[in-house]
Amino acid sequence: MTLRFIRPETVREAMEVLHEHKDNSKIVAGATDVMVQRRSEKPVEEKPLLLVDITGISELSYVNFQNGIVRIGAMITHRDIARSAVIHDVAPFFADACLSVGSPQIRTRGTIGGNIVNASPAADSLPPLTALSARLRLISRRGSRDVALCDFFKGPYKTIIEPDEILKEVYFRAPEPSSRCAFLKLGRRESLAIARLSVAALIDVDDSGKISKAAIAPGACLPMPARIAPAEEALVGKIPDEEVVNSASQEVGEEMVRVSGVRWSTEYKKPVACALTKRAIWKALGVDVD
Amino acid sequence: MTKTEWVGADVIRIDAKDKVRGVLKYMSDLSFPNMIYGAVLRSKHPHALIKKINTKRAKELDGVVTVLTHEDVPGLNGFGIAIPDQPVLCSDKVRYMGDAIALVGAESKEIAERALELIEVEYQPLPVVCDPEQAMLSSSPKVHETGNLHNHVKIERGNVEAAFKEAQVVVENTYFTPRQMHAFLEPESGVAAIDEDKNITIWCGGQHPYRDQLQVARALGMNPRKIRIVNTPTGGAFGGKDEITVQIHLALLVLHTGRPAKIVLSREESVIAGMKRHPMRIHMKTAAAADGTILANEARVVSDTGAYASLGGPVIGFAIEHSCGAYRVENVKLEGFCVYTNNGVAGAFRGFGANQVTFAVETQLDMIAEKLGMDKLEIRKRNALRSGDIAALGHQMEASVGLLRTLEAAENSRLWQLKEEFKAKPSAPHKKRGIGIACSFQGCGLGKGLPDYGAASVELLPNGQFAIGVSCPEIGQGNTTAFAQMAADYIRCSVDDIVVLSGDTGHTLDSGTSTASRSIYTGGNALKHAVQNLHNAISPIAAEILCVPEDDISFGHGKIVSKSCPDKILSFKDIAEYITARGLSIKSEGHFIWPVSETELEGYVGIPHLLYSYITQIALVEVNTLTGETEVIEAVSVPDPGKAINPQGVEGQSEGGVVMGMGYALTEDTIIKEGMTLTRNFSTYILPTSLDMPCKIETIIAEELEPSGPFGAKGIGEAVCVPISPAITNAIHDAVKVWIKQIPATPERVYTALKSREVS
């Protein structure tokens, strides 16, 4: 036997299983990545892998909005988020990002928890969550801990989650009602497209017309999700005009090269990252560019 | 011609309901009791000598029924449509990553796959031959002992040098085209069974059951009569199942185990081992006079056929035949090279070499038009082949020529008439719109020098219906429905009374391939003869029943009527009952041999053709100047299929062809580096999805009836995917003024071209 499969129905049950099998288990949270990965893995006879499917745990499927905090259970699917009234209300760019994931089939199977823990640099949900300064709650039999999303990742497909831990939820403070946001994605086609580049922008403008808050988080061009502080600094305190937006956008391209180095694709990706950021910022500011 | 009742009507496809409901069983859906599962061990190196193969450990694995190697191939260890240079199971050398070395039959698919890992193969790697230009040098390592140049075609007419001197405009460019994948939904797969007398039946997607039968028989050293091949229904082929895929492996498994067997390639295996479109490097120099008349065309085409020949030889010939487009060109110097490398394998693919050269010549034509300040449609009209003209290879256009008709219909289309309006309204300021046009022609049939024939059968069934048989398989294009429509009009009965047998050596006569835009023309003509024979057999019986002379019998609207006494009427059911009661049956055959061009090109087979279908296509695109992305907004497709037997079927072909040609122009390429395939599945090989399709594809059918065709039909399966690619790249130029010389025109390529234009 090379593979075993278990489908716990409660968080407690799942934590017990993971505790017992922490050296040879893998969580299945929709299987849209796990199944693909398993095809290229060699089965190990001596240590059959235990797949722990947590999609049947109803305790992990919720979207709550209380006291200004939005909490999303890990087993909420991309489709759920794309259709959630709460998300559309407080962070529509997060709904847009989830709607751009794969295809209807993938959005119906794939979960937000799976997308986060898989830690693909091209994950569509991560740029908006990063811009929202989201935090994660991890639980295990040993207890629970909360971490900032940006501290969760160690590199592409690498996170700090322990083998016995489950991602319970992702949560974030709802942005000010006055703030505006946008998510733009560049893929190789309209559907079933892995992001080649994406940008999430969350911007608030004060009564004087100056940008009071800005969060800029690109996707698919950094090893792990991050906000681009120099880009945000170029915006905050300014009245947005062509020059301000251009210089902020330029910072995203610069940061990409600083972090990821010059690659064969840089000649294309750098200017296009700037262009995409520029459009995302203008779109967030309410200037329709498409 | 008498008015037709079914031909020309949108008869619902006879397989539509079962396909839509998911009821229809494709070959990979079939299973038998006691069936084993086959898996193929592929090469670990793109180019290597095999030193040793050890299957001992695999054979010992629980659940493994058999492990076969080259030693277990009883007949010729080779296959290939043109020359059998591809081993069934390699013995001494591998030439690409898809080469088969061993074959496992096991109780389950999982066990078969585990057993593959236990087979030990010792290789001695050889230098990898990746570049077809380098491969032609004498210093290159050899993929085959005979050398890396598989086929060389050279055609010269007139004096190109003199024409280049006197020309007003000369354009000279090098073009590159990608390794497009057929991407059929059903990967190469099938099942087989063997009976006590060692008769083997193979159910497997394919395009020519009788040639599959021959190739299997040859490898097994068996009488072909003991092998039955069933190809219908095939879940998509596009040329990629013309060659042997899993048929011989299935036959070996059942022969050695006596048990039924099944093989289904995974998508990754299909990508690595299966056929592709030949990537070509095309250098082209074209000259024109001040009025736009093309004076000369010189082309040098290098085609990468990969590890084995398959149809690489005929493809380069076809490319050369079509390299001047559907235009009159008096001075030509055309040279083609088909070269072996370790880059996968290339073979037949919808368009058969026309796609590559059409991209080049249609771009050249737009460049000339621009230099001369001419309208893009006008320059094509000026040079379009007309009936009786001499085409590029020096052969006369003897059959129907519909290019002008398609150009005129394209000119009157809404998109062309309102093109400035369409272009004026891009969806964003940083997006630019453009409209492009391109034409092509497509040789139908196998061409001069290759045996090209068809046969069909018609049988009156006891219930008064008819069973017709044509072996050209249904590969999704709808030919079975078209056969039923043509048969119904020939017989003069209802299309609902026709039962079609297709693609089965056990029940149909050999009608050749479902390739080369040939099955409607071939099957239709064979059916015409078969029905004449059927009528000749029915007439005396009807005359006997009605007590009238035989020449008084006529056929019409499902009835047999006395001409002199119209109230003397019989139904086909009356005839069926009459003969059944007497223990008789009526089954007739019709045979047909393709007419060929009078021109003979010494040393070449497959060129030229006699019959061509013609097409003009238009694309409206929007280019994002910030990202280089191109979106095809609308397309117009104007094919000349001769008579459209089923107009809705032609529209279906046309729309599918536009999308396939769009993928070729914008996104699709199987990338192979150092012999290793990098784009192994559909996450990295970028096929267009339904959301990427143009919002609108308008098909305008421009029928130029072909006198030798059934009801005037030619063929249209291939041409529909050809000129749309350069129509799109020409539209990109119209939008942003950059010439695309390498497809696919990915965002990176378009963006880079845009930037270099800004710099210069």
Residues B747, A279: C-beta atoms closer than 8 Å: no
What's the number of CA atoms in the CB half-sphere (13 Å) around residue A37? Answer: 12
DSSP B194-247: E-TT--EEEEE--S-HHHHHHHHHHHHT--GGGEEEE--S-S--TTTTSS-SSH
**Partner residue opposite A190 with nearest CB, options B626, B682, B689:** B689
Could you tell me the CA-to-CA distances from B121 to A75, B48, B100, B116 in Å, in that order?
46, 11, 12, 11
Parts of chain A belonging to CATH 3.30.43: 3-53
Q: Does B108 touch chain A if contact means CB atoms closer than 8 Å?
A: no
Q: Is the peptide bond before B707 cis (omega within 30 degrees of 0)?
A: no
Residues of B with Cβ-Cβ distance to A103 under 8 angstroms: 689
Mutate to test the interface with A, among B748, B749, B750, B759 (most CBs of A within 10 A): B748
Rounded to whole angstroms, the Cα distance separating B479 from B120 reads 46
Of the candidates A206, A231, A237, the one whose C-alpha atom is nearest the C-alpha of residue A216 is: A231
Q: Does B63 contact chain A (CB < 8 Å)?
A: no
Quick one: fold of A59-173?
Answer: 3.30.465
A164 min Cα distance to partner chain B (Å): 30
The Cα–Cα gap between B360 and B742 comes to 9
Task: Suggest the residue from A36, A100, A105, A190 to mutate for an interface test with chain B (most B CBs closer than 10 A).
Answer: A190
Out of A192, A268, A289, closest to residue B428 by CB: A289
Say yes or no for a CB contact (<8 Å) between A272 and B627. Answer: yes
Long-range contacts of A140-149 (CB under 8 A, 24+ apart): A140/A15, A140/A18, A140/A19, A140/A164, A140/A165, A140/A166, A141/A15, A141/A16, A141/A18, A141/A19, A144/A168, A149/A116, A149/A225
- Which three-class secondary structure state does DSSP give residue A90? helix
CB contact under 8 A, B686 and A189: yes
Whole-angstrom distance between the N-terminal and C-terminal Cα of chain B? Answer: 62
Burial of B90 (0-12, 13-18, 19+ CB in 10 A): buried
Nearest to B99 by CA among B111, B110, B88, B85: B88
Residues 627-656 of B with CB under 8 A from A: 627-629
Tell if the CB–CB gap between A290 and B691 is shorter than 8 Å. no
Q: Is B685 on the interface with A (CB under 8 A)?
A: no
Regions of chain B short of the pLDDT cut 50: none
> Is the Cβ pair B689, A191 closer than 8 Å?
yes
* Residues A82 and A170: beta-carbon distance below 8 Å: no
Whether residues A268 and B752 touch (CB distance < 8 A) is answered with: yes
Rg over CA atoms, chain B:
27
Chain B residue numbers with beta carbons less than 8 Å from the beta carbon of A42 are 117
Query: Token digits for B265?
Result: 């390639």
Cα–Cα dist B733/B125, whole Å = 45
| Domain A3-53 architecture | 2-Layer Sandwich (3.30)
* B2 in reach of chain A (CB within 8 A): no
Mutate to test the interface with B, among A38, A101, A192 (most CBs of B within 10 A): A192
Query: Which amino acid type is present at position B630?
Result: T
| pLDDT tens-digit readout, A42-54 | 666 667 889 999 9
Identify all chain B residues contacting A290, using CB atoms and an 8 Å cutoff: 427-428
Q: For residue B39, give the DSSP letter.
A: E
Contacts of A268 in chain B (CB under 8 A): 628, 747-748, 751-752
Domain with CATH 3.30.390.50 in chain A: 180-284
Q: Are B368 and B171 in contact (CB under 8 A)?
A: yes
Give me the long-range contacts of A103-110 (CB less than 8 A, separation at least 24).
Answer: A103/A191, A103/A192, A103/B689, A104/A79, A106/A32, A106/A78, A106/A192, A107/A77, A107/A78, A107/A79, A107/A82, A108/A77, A108/A78, A108/A79, A109/A30, A109/A31, A109/A32, A109/A77, A110/A30, A110/A32, A110/A33, A110/A77, A110/A78
Cα distance between residue A271 and residue A120, in whole Å: 23
Span A230-268, pLDDT tens digits: 999 999 999 999 999 999 999 999 999 999 888 888 999
Nearest to B748 among A189, A268, A275 (CB): A268
Chain B residues whose CB is inside 8 A of the A246 CB are none
- Give chain B positions within 8 Å (CB) of A266: none
Q: What is the DSSP letter of B24?
A: P
Interior/surface letters B548-564, b for 16+ CB within 10 angstroms, e for the rest = beeebbebeebebbbee
CA distance B622 to chain A (A): 12
Best mutation target among A37, A39, A120, A189 (most B Cβ atoms within 10 Å) is A189
Find the helix packing angle between B312-321 and B354-372, rounded to 10°. Answer: 20
For chain A, which residues lie within 8 Å of any Cβ of chain B, measuring from their own Cβ? Answer: 42, 103, 186, 188-192, 194, 265, 267-268, 271-272, 275-276, 279, 289-290
- Picking from B627, B667, B752, the nearest residue to A186 by CB comes out as B627
Query: In chain A, what residues touch B111 (CB-CB under 8 Å)?
Result: none
**Contact B129/B342 with Cβ under 8 angstroms?**
yes
Q: Which residues pair with A184 in a beta bridge?
A: A199
Q: Between vectors from CA B550 to CA B547 and to CA B551, what angle results, nearest 5°?
A: 125
The helix (H) or strand (E) run that includes residue B346 is strand B345-346
Is the CB of B691 less than 8 angstroms away from the CB of A267? no
Q: SS3 for B185?
A: coil
Cβ neighbors of B265 (< 8 A, separation 6 or more) are: B40, B187, B188, B189, B245, B246, B273, B274
- Which residue in the set B628, B689, B747 is minimally distant from A192, CB to CB? B689
| pLDDT number for residue B604 | 92
d(CA B250, CA A258): 55
- Least CB–CB distance from A188: residue in B117, B626, B686: B686
The reply to whether B673 touches chain A by the CB within 8 Å rule is no
3-class secondary structure, A180: strand
Residues 6+ apart with CB under 8 A from A151: A160
Which residues sit opposite B614 in a β-bridge?
B441, B640
CB of B678 within 8 Å of a chain A CB? The answer is no
CB contacts of A275 in chain B (<8 Å) are: 626-627
Q: Which of B427, B627, B683 is closest, CB to CB, to A275?
A: B627
CA of A275: which chain B residue's CA is closest?
A: B626
Closest Cβ opposite residue A290 in set B428, B690, B692: B428
Domains, chain B, with CATH or none: 16-23+453-593 (3.30.365.10), 31-126+188-264 (3.90.1170.50), 276-447+599-759 (3.30.365.10)
Q: Which two tokens stand for residue B376?
A: 């893009």
In chain A, the DSSP E strands lie at 3-6, 25-28, 49-53, 63-66, 69-73, 135-140, 143-148, 153-155, 158-159, 166-173, 180-186, 197-205, 211-219
What ipTM describes this predicted complex?
A: 0.93
Determine the distance from the C-alpha atom of residue B294 to the mean position of all C-alpha atoms in its chain, rounded to a whole number. Answer: 30
Give the pLDDT confidence score for residue B595 in this predicted structure: 95
Inter-chain contact A189–B689, Cβ cutoff 8 Å? yes
The answer regarding whether domain A180-284 maps to CATH 3.30.420.40 reads no
Token pair 């093309």: residue: B294
Contact B683 A194 (CB under 8 A): yes
CB-CB neighbors (< 8 A) of B117 in chain A: 42
CA-based torsion, A17, A18, A24, A30: positive or negative: positive
Say yes or no for a CB contact (<8 Å) between B626 and A267. no
Residue B506 corresponds to which tokens in the numbers above?
Answer: 């056990």
* Interface touch B691/A188, C-beta < 8 Å: no
The Cα–Cα gap between A288 and A280 comes to 10
Q: What is the pLDDT of residue A44?
A: 64
Among A32, A44, A188, A221, the strongest candidate for a mutation testing the B interface, having the largest count of B CBs within 10 A, is: A188
**Residue carrying the six token digits 């760019």:** A93
Answer whether A276 sits within 8 Å of B627, measured CB to CB.
yes
Of B683, B691, B746, the CB nearest to A191: B691
In angstroms, the CA B707 to CA A195 distance is 53
Angle formed at CA B706 by CA B705 and CA B709, multiple of 5 degrees: 120
Instruction: Please give the Cα distance from B131 to A188 (Å, whole number).
Output: 27
Contact (CB, 8 A) for B395 and B323: no
Residue B737 DSSP symbol: -
Nearest CA in chain A to B682: A192
Contacts of A267 in chain B (CB under 8 A): 752
Per-residue pLDDT of chain A (290 residues; tens, 9 = 90+): 578 899 999 999 999 999 999 999 999 999 999 988 887 776 666 678 899 999 999 999 999 999 999 999 999 999 999 999 999 999 999 999 999 999 999 999 999 999 999 999 999 999 999 999 999 999 999 999 999 999 999 999 999 999 999 999 999 999 999 999 999 999 999 999 999 999 999 999 999 999 999 999 999 999 999 999 999 999 999 999 999 999 999 999 999 999 988 888 899 999 999 999 999 999 999 987 66
Contacts of B22 (CB under 8 A, 6+ apart): none
Q: Is B739 helix (H, G, I), strand (E, B) or coil?
A: coil
